[in-house]
Amino acid sequence: MTPDLSEIEAAAAHQNLAVVGVTGGTVLLGPLEPGFWAAFTKSPEWLDGQPDPMDRWSDRVISQLADGLGADALFPFGPKAGNFLQLALDSGTAWSSPVGMLVHCDAGLMVSYRGALVFDEALPPVATPGTPCIPCERPCTTACPIGALTADGYDIPACKAHIASPAGADCLENGCLARRACPVSQTFARDPAQSGYHMERFLG
Ligand code: SF4
Ligand code: SF4
């Protein structure tokens, strides 16, 4: 039997994860803030110095959660990969932003999906808000200092070149200025060190 959403939320919170969307029997999980990064960096996956600590942590923790709650686990990566873009849109808590990437009702442009729990039965529908992009003055479209991320698209090579240069140190250490310009992102207490980690991985 599928547990109540409150039971799922409580079990996820024990692992510093939040329910960030529900669609049918699929419950999407993302970092619970504040505190996710501080907890994650104490995990064995972070401390062992091996590659891909975030994905390995997600795999272990969400697989254990799924076992405990009678669900299957789904991830944005690896052999159990699902279409998280579509699931996020279907959940009604994330939308396409003017700069192309997803914007989430709570996390804004800092949204991140670590995995999902898939139950046999659908959960009751959850009330969902409207997109925060209406109305919004769209600072995400103009915040990139080199115009690499605008309503016209994302120039990834230009972005990478910038963050690899001294002028791009702020993006590299604290995260993308365009994502940080979103007023919804600004209410979401993500540790800048987490954004810096993802930027370093992006740079390769
Ligand atoms: S800055 Fe405004 S328009 Fe851009 S993603 Fe955030 S809410 Fe939407
Ligand atoms: S990381 Fe910096 S350079 Fe790249 S798109 Fe974001 S603001 Fe622009």
Residue nearest to atom 6 of ligand 1 (CA): 182
Model confidence at 67: pLDDT above 90: yes
Boundaries of domain holding 38: 5-124+131-203
With a 6 Å cutoff on the Cβ, whether 101 touches ligand 2 is no
Model confidence at 61: pLDDT above 80: yes
Q: Give the separation between CA 30 and CA 185, rounded to whole angstroms.
A: 14
Q: How many domains does the chain have?
A: 1
Q: Which residues contact 176 (CB under 8 A, 6 or more apart)?
A: 109, 144, 149, 195, 199
The per-residue pLDDT for 195 is 87
The per-residue pLDDT for 121 is 95
Per the CB < 8 A criterion, the answer to whether 12 and 65 are in contact is yes
With a 6 Å cutoff on the Cβ, whether 178 touches ligand 2 is yes
Looking at 44-58, 59-73, 138-152, 187-201, which range is the least confident one? 187-201
- When the pLDDT of each residue in the chain is averaged and rounded to a whole number, the result is 94
The per-residue pLDDT for 105 is 95
Q: How far is the CA of 159 from the centre of ligand 2 (A)?
A: 5
With a 6 Å cutoff on the Cβ, whether 196 touches ligand 1 is no
The per-residue pLDDT for 139 is 97
* pTM of the shown model: 0.94
Higher pLDDT, 197 or 36: 36
In angstroms, how far apart are the furthest CA atoms of the chain?
55
Per the CB < 8 A criterion, the answer to whether 13 and 32 are in contact is yes
Q: Are strands 149-150 and 115-118 parallel, antiparallel or unpaired?
A: unpaired
Q: Give the separation between CA 105 and CA 113, rounded to whole angstroms.
A: 13
With a 6 Å cutoff on the Cβ, whether 132 touches ligand 1 is yes
